Amino acid sequence: MTLNHLFDLTVRTRPREVALEFYDSDKVLRTVSFEEVFLRSRRMVSVLQSRGVRTGDRLCVYLANSVGMIDLYLACVAMGVIFVPINVLYREREIGHILRDCEPMAVIVDGDVPAEGAVLWRLPALLAEASRASAEVALPSLDGDDAAAIIYTSGTTGTSKGAVLTHNNFAVNAINLNACWRIDESDRLLLALPLFHVHGLGNGLHCWLAAGCRLRLLERFDHRQAVDMFLDFRPTVFFGVPTMYVRLLEMPEEPAGEIGGFMRLFVCGSAPLPTQVLEEFNAKFAHIILERYGMTATLMNISNPYVGERRPGAVGLPLPGISVEVRDADGRVLPAGSAGELYVRGPNVFARYWRNPQATRAAFDDRGYFRTGDIGVRSADGYYTLQGRRSDLIISGGFNIYPREIEEFLAGQEGVREAAVAGVPDTIRGEVPVAYLVCDGDVDASALEDRCRSAFASFKIPRAFVRVPALPRTALGKVQKHLLPPVERGIA
């Protein structure tokens, strides 16, 4: 069974039910049925086939959330074309690496894109062609182990690797979440997460289509419109990241109470949720946010229960079919209460890194367990709590930042001898990056920031540049980031 079979169950049983709500380019709210979602995707298949796209080809998309992006994804799934979403905050340097690595047939865009030399197809043109195309198309026979998407995730070396996610990976993830979180056709899902991120694509889109519930898709989360959006749509389920929940706490008491009355489930992931936020949210909305733990390469691994204790600070229990072990540096399984690296195994775990067999071999042990790089502890009753990364990953507003990429760039700038980037707490984004610099002379921090903005996505830009006489190191020369000075000292 592939994703096509899973989605067909919904289309065939609920063809005329409203599937999707979205705002068009004129800010008018539109609705389409499940049958229309299906037909739109098949017309897009016709367009892509006419342009020479075939099974196994890669198509990159550099798009904000839209019904057109859904059309493209479902068309790729139907054709066996590998969907490669690109973060719309990425700059030319980051995009260039992805394009060189996956060698897509084209990049589909809806505006300017910093990708010199790439073959660009404009989404408005594709949609116009699709409106005139036939929905009667010939499709290949696919297998559940066929690749559905390549999602790029930064590695500890700073080099982005493409995780190949299969039809089976996405299908198992959706079935697990719908079963464990009780998502069904009666729900109303408000989705403001970006579809270029695995949280929005892997959880939001697939749970919606597998359950047959009603979805309102937003281009982005805007906390200034949150009250109106919740009260107008009256969702029962909301997927968010900690930054969104911090913003929702700014909502006045009266609408918060009303929203809490019709909501069924708030889910949080992509970054740790501070216990204080969870407690304040419960006091204001009368809901305990359900925390879970997943990764780009594995989708969802662990979740607090829908029915039962949602333990503050913990990410919960392994989902059905997923095995989790806590191991020490030598690979030995540790008892409850001991901190170690989390290893996971299950049908949710990605197939391989795209064209990178060496990295794939290094990522798995001989029993098929994936080395997550996350440090965690299992309680005596089976709940897992995360304690950070084995590497020095920074998670800012749900986006991953690997410092080495920024450090290497900064170290190549005139006047900078050494650079270290670390995360510091931030009330809105959870963490933000700060750069510590050893300089040979005067360095203009604003000019340095401008150069970073030309090279990186906005969430990767250091929020401060701190000059230090030397970086604290171990006897073997490793930088000890926990000994770096507080941000308020020595900002350049």
Pairing label, strands 340-345, 18-23: unpaired
DSSP 212-235: T-EEEE-SS--GGGHHHHHHHH--
Largest CA distance in the chain: 69
**42 closest CA partner among 122, 109, 149, 133:** 133
For range 247-260, the mean pLDDT: 97
As a whole-number percent, the residues of the chain with pLDDT over 70 amount to 97
| Helices (H), ranges, 133-237 | 167-180, 198, 206-211, 226-233
Q: What is the mean pLDDT of residues 322-350?
A: 96
Which tens digit of pLDDT belongs to each residue from 400-427?
888 888 998 998 899 998 999 999 999 8
Burial class (CB in 10 A: 0-12, 13-18, 19+), 370: buried
Token pair, residue 241, equals 């990241």
What is the structure's pLDDT at 416?
94
Tens-place pLDDT, residues 72-82 = 999 999 999 99
Nearest Cα to Cα of residue 486 among 470, 469, 462, 466: 466
Spatial CB neighbours of 460, under 8 Å, sequence gap ≥ 6: 401, 405, 406, 433, 452
- The full length of the chain comes to 492
Q: How confident is the model at residue 67 (pLDDT cuts 50, 70, 90)?
A: very high
**CB contact set of 453 (below 8 Å; sequence gap of 6+):** 461
Residue whose C-alpha is closest to residue 146's, from 351, 411, 443, 372:
351
pLDDT, one tens digit per residue, over 260-285 is 999 999 999 988 888 989 999 999 99
- The pLDDT, as a whole number, for residue 116 is 84
- Three-state DSSP at 325 gives strand
308 to 238, 303, 311, 316, 383: CA distances (angstroms): 19, 11, 9, 10, 12
Coil, strand, or helix at residue 458?
helix
**Is there a contact between 395 and 269 (Cβ–Cβ < 8 Å)?**
no
Q: Nearest 10 degrees: CA dihedral of 225, 226, 229, 230?
A: -160
Helix, strand and coil content of the chain, in percent to the nearest 5, comes to 35, 25, 40
Residues linked to residue 94 through DSSP beta bridges, in sequence order: none
- What value does the mean pLDDT of the chain take? 94
Average pLDDT over residues 479-484: 85
Highest mean pLDDT among 157-161, 173-177, 388-392, 488-492: 173-177
- pLDDT for residue 91 is more than 70: yes
Distance separating alpha carbons of residues 130 and 152, to the nearest angstrom? 28
Burial (CB count <10 Å: 0-12, 13-18, 19+), residue 100: exposed
- pLDDT band, residue 121 (cuts 50/70/90): very high
Give the mean model confidence (pLDDT) for residues 3-30: 96
Put the strands of the sheet holding 120-122 in their side by side order. 120-122, 106-109, 58-62, 82-85, 147-154, 160-166, 352-353
Indicate the pLDDT class of residue 490, thresholds 50, 70 and 90.
very low
Distance of alpha carbon 462 from the chain centroid: 21
Q: What is the pLDDT of residue 475?
A: 56
Closest CA to 290 of 257, 263, 320, 312: 312
Residue 41 structure tokens: 């995707």
pLDDT at 326 over 60: yes
As a whole number, mean pLDDT of residues 206-225 equals 97
pLDDT per residue over 130-157, tens digit each? 999 999 999 999 999 999 999 998 544 4
| Cβ contacts of 197-201, under 8 Å, gap ≥ 24 | 197/85, 197/87, 197/270, 197/398, 197/399, 198/151, 198/165, 198/294, 198/296, 198/299, 199/239, 199/241, 199/269, 199/270, 199/294, 199/398, 200/65, 200/239, 201/73, 201/85, 201/149, 201/151
- Model confidence, pTM: 0.89
200 in Cβ contact with 191 (< 8 Å): yes
Nearest CA-CA partner of 70 in 101, 95, 34: 34
